Amino acid sequence: MKIGILGYGNLGRGVECAIKENPDTELVAVFTRRNPATVKIQTPNVPVVHVDDVKAWVGKIDVMILCGGSATDLPTQTPEYAAMFNVVDSFDTHAKIPEHFANVDAAAKANGHVAIISVGWDPGLFSLARAYANAILPDGNDYTFWGKGVSQGHSDAIRRVKGVKNAKQYTVPIAGALDAVRSGKNPELTTRQKHLRECYVVLEEGADAAEVENAIKTMPNYFADYDTVVNFISEEELLTKHAGLAHGGFVIRSGKTGVDKEHNHIIEFNLKLDSNPEFTTAVLVAYARAAYRLNQEGSNGCKTVFDIAPAYLSAQSADELRAHLL
């Protein structure tokens, strides 16, 4: 399976690693908007190509993995490249998924390609956990907790506060809330009861710490509805101790069965990831395998994780899966 990578940031580098773990995949080219001469990749003898020259690669790539961002890149890139290749993306703006799906579906169908969107862990594996659990326990409640991990959006919001030089924000699930959910109590949890926001902030010289702390804690949407802890640290400490990309989270469904609904069941899926981008791209590569196989079978159009039978993700044959993993 010949794979192309479009965009060589954290995700692009992650895809490159994941390809080495999957002997049925081969990296054939990396596409970039930068000057290709300035982009050094890990894999020997694989060309780095300017994105303007991508058309020359039509027919030479089985699946193009799109490694752009959801805010501005993927809404235009995924339909554009689905017209040329089978594609997989990690579009994660939940509210805009129906619109993105429709755009990508039109482009993929018109050109006979398979496009799988919103692949990763949330959306992605967490969506699968929710879908399976909802189908099995129709009478129940869903809970999703994220973290502990860095929220890029919240870190950016802190950096926009006057007097802040740099910042990282960790989303931390609250243990007591998790325990209450796992115990089958089906609690109704407020925003504040589910997650804590832990901030590490580097001040500009002369900035007023109390003012900055207040500005962060009262920021609407981002922090006002949460318990927020603000820690002031040096830039050196931020760069050495808070550069990691670890993340994770929990999807739990708590539901009832029985003649009198007397039995409670807990279905839990959780992830603890040392590297958010490397794990996300490991999922992307598994779904690239599915996109290729589905297209080989004559399928086309836009799909999500809900539309893909698990066997399509695996390098093992159906016989092997039944014998060893069932």
Give 54's DSSP letter.
Answer: G
Residues numbered 104 to 143 that lie near a second copy (CB under 8 A) are 118, 123, 125, 127-132, 134-139
147, 172 contact by CB (below 8 A): yes
Residues whose CB is less than 8 angstroms from the CB of residue 214 and which lie 6 or more positions away in sequence, other chains included: none
Task: Establish if 145 lies at the interface with a second copy (CB under 8 A).
Answer: no
Nearer to a second copy, 279 or 292 (CB): 279
Write the CA distances from 135 to 97, 138, 140, 253, 255, integer angstroms: 21, 6, 10, 11, 11
Of the listed pieces 56-64, 67-75, 154-162, 260-268, which binds a second copy according to CB under 8 A?
Answer: 260-268
Task: Establish if 243 lies at the interface with a second copy (CB under 8 A).
Answer: no
Task: Establish if 259 lies at the interface with a second copy (CB under 8 A).
Answer: yes
Lookup result for tokens 């040096």 = 234
Residues whose CB is less than 8 angstroms from the CB of residue 48 and which lie 6 or more positions away in sequence, other chains included: 8, 29, 30, 31, 32, 36, 39, 41
Task: Establish if 231 lies at the interface with a second copy (CB under 8 A).
Answer: no
With CB under 8 A as the contact rule, the residue among 37, 210, 243, 309 that binds a second copy is 309
Of the listed pieces 59-67, 152-160, 217-225, 277-285, which binds a second copy according to CB under 8 A?
Answer: 277-285
In whole angstroms, how close is the CB of 212 to a second copy at the nearest point? 33
Cα radius of gyration rounded to whole Å, the chain: 22
With CB under 8 A as the contact rule, the residue among 271, 288, 292, 300 that binds a second copy is 271
Task: Establish if 257 lies at the interface with a second copy (CB under 8 A).
Answer: yes
- 10 Å Cβ neighbour count for 197? 23
With CB under 8 A as the contact rule, the residue among 186, 187, 265, 299 that binds a second copy is 265
88, 288 contact by CB (below 8 A): yes
Residues numbered 162 to 201 that lie near a second copy (CB under 8 A) are 182, 184
Using DSSP, state whether 123 is helix, strand or coil: coil
Task: Establish if 30 lies at the interface with a second copy (CB under 8 A).
Answer: no
In whole angstroms, how close is the CB of 246 to a second copy at the nearest point? 9
Task: Establish if 46 lies at the interface with a second copy (CB under 8 A).
Answer: no
245, 216 contact by CB (below 8 A): no
Task: Establish if 299 lies at the interface with a second copy (CB under 8 A).
Answer: no
Distance CA 138, CA 155 (A): 37
Residue 179 structure tokens:
């325990």
In whole angstroms, how close is the CB of 286 to a second copy at the nearest point? 4
- DSSP letters, 235-247, are HHHHHHHS--B-E
With CB under 8 A as the contact rule, the residue among 49, 282, 288, 291 that binds a second copy is 282
Distance CA 121, CA 93 (A): 13
Residue 40 structure tokens:
């050094």
Nearer to a second copy, 19 or 199 (CB): 19
**Which residues sit at the interface with a second copy, rule CB under 8 A?**
14, 17-18, 21-22, 42, 94, 97-98, 101, 118, 123, 125, 127-132, 134-139, 182, 184, 248, 257-259, 262-275, 278-279, 282-283, 286, 289, 304-311, 313-316, 318-319, 321-323, 325-326
